[in-house]
Chains A and B, each alone.
Chain A
Amino acid sequence: MNCEQSLLVQAYLDGELDAVETLKAEQHLESCVECQAMAADHAEMKAAMAGATYYRASAGLRARIGAALDAENRSDVVKEFRPIRRKPGFWLGAGSGAGGMAIAAALAFLLFLPANPLINDLAAAHLRSLMAGHLIDVASSDHHTVKPWFAGHADVSPPAEDFKAEGFTLVGGRVDYVHGERAAVVVYRHGAHIINLFAWADRNTSLPGTRSRDGYRMIFWKQNDLDLAAVSDVDPAELDQFVALVKKSQSRE
């Protein structure tokens, strides 16, 4: 297509022009053979494209998205546990003998849930990050790239140093929501394991220290006006080593 006016004519054929430009395009079309041919092609293509497949979301996908949106709402997550508590058989067994300890542990777990939304958020964010395509928004092993990316996307500037020599490779970063705050997440790989390092603004709330949830260990601390949490299923000693490295690098900043 060599005619200079071809994009104007295409826009006319696509119904994108106002009255003045429409007139201009129509006048041009009267005399330009090349654009007349394009107009014929355009009509032909439009008719043909009606035969292209339009893919629609399956009922299964729709349901999964509905469930994922439900899970986003913390109060809904807590609600799911209520039917268990209401079961009469559960309570009858609870009072008797040896089962008592296990029941107490289960009960503690239930009571624990609503009281620690922060831990729920981190566990959910860590699990989500392990699903395909959720781990990284910016992929880089270069902290010179990761750090400025956070400047444009997160509210805080997290430590983002590569500890490759120590076995913790920086693989990228993303932004996640934790406890209603936008948190910067720095992602590391240690062997086959992923470590998510969450950082959000210190709002003078107390942090839990060290916790475990669903096989993942979480270490919390405060440093340089940030609340930080390292979450992973690596060996506990290795997670401690990783946290020590981050603390050391951050104290240099």
Chain B
Amino acid sequence: MDEKRRRFEALAMPHLDAAYNLARWLTRGGAEADDIVQDAMLRAFRSFDGFRGEAVRPWLLAIVRNCHRSALEQRKRHAATPLGETDDTEIAAEGPTPEASAIQTGDGRRLDNAIAALPEEFREVVILRELEEMSYRDIAVTTGAPIGTVMSRLARGRALLREKLIGRPA
């Protein structure tokens, strides 16, 4: 094992679960999360020589996010998607209906469904903050959005999630 590989094992590999968790939530439980994470880790390794940042996790998660984006782009091109169909309609179709939520067994499952039904821009900040417990600054690095945008998306995401869970506007 050479020096680069040792550094990568010591600094990046400890964040593999974080990478996978983000990929699973971005794909809403899709089986393609494995491919996205493998692609991301390989890309991270290749550009690891050039990595000069102080925090590995936000950088690595940014790569996961980019890989998810390009996989999504590619799937969209290959699938014969009717014009005008956007990601949001996709979310609305896949999100749980109020009836479906009500009959879910156990709070965890219902909570997972409510998070999965959030539009992606809100879902990713909620996951990075609540599950990864990342700072606003690190979330900004991962999502490429300014800190002010991270803060407002987080507020909106939490409000939406609350609305979905208790069934009325917060």
| CB-contacts of A58-116 with B (<8 A) | 58, 61-62, 64-65, 68-69, 72-73
Stretch of B38-46, B54-62, B86-94, B96-104 at the chain-chain interface = B38-46
- What separation, in Å, do the CA atoms of A72 and B44 have in the docked complex? 12
- Output the least CB separation between B116 and chain A (Å): 10
Q: Any chain A CB within 8 A of the CB of B11?
A: no
Interface of B is mostly: helix
| Whole-angstrom distance between the Cβ of A181 and the nearest chain B Cβ | 12
Interface membership of B67, Cβ < 8 A: yes
- Give the distance to chain B from A150, nearest Cβ to Cβ, in Å: 16
Q: Is A193 part of the binding interface, using a Cβ–Cβ cutoff of 8 Å?
A: no
CB pair A6–B155 under 8 Å, yes or no, is: yes
Q: Determine which residue in A45, A46, A69 has the highest number of CB atoms from chain B within 10 A of its CB, and name it.
A: A69
**Alpha-carbon distance A141/B108, docked complex (angstroms):** 45
- A177 and B4 alpha carbons, distance in the complex (Å): 16
Knowing A45-B161, A45-B162, A132-B32 touch, does A55 contact B24 (C-beta < 8 A)?
yes
A10 and B111 contacting across the interface, CB-CB below 8 Å: no
Q: CB distance A51 to B111 under 8 Å?
A: yes
Q: Which residues of A are found within 8 Å of B107, using beta-carbon distances?
A: 48, 51
Those of A162-202 within 8 Å (CB) of chain B: 177
Contact among B5, B20, B77, B131 with A49 in the assembled complex (CB-CB below 8 Å): B131
Min C-beta distance of A96 to chain B, whole Å: 40
Q: Does A20 contact B (CB under 8 A)?
A: no
Interface residue? B121 (CB, 8 A): no
List A contacts of B70 (CB < 8 A).
Answer: 133, 136-137, 139
- How far does the Cβ of B169 sit from chain A's closest Cβ, in whole Å? 10
| Docked CA distance A135–B67 (Å) | 11
Please tell me if the beta carbons of A7 and B111 are within 8 angstroms of each other in the complex.
Answer: no
Write 6 A-B pairs (CB below 8 A) sorted by A numbering.
A11-B151, A48-B111, A48-B165, A73-B5, A133-B35, A136-B73
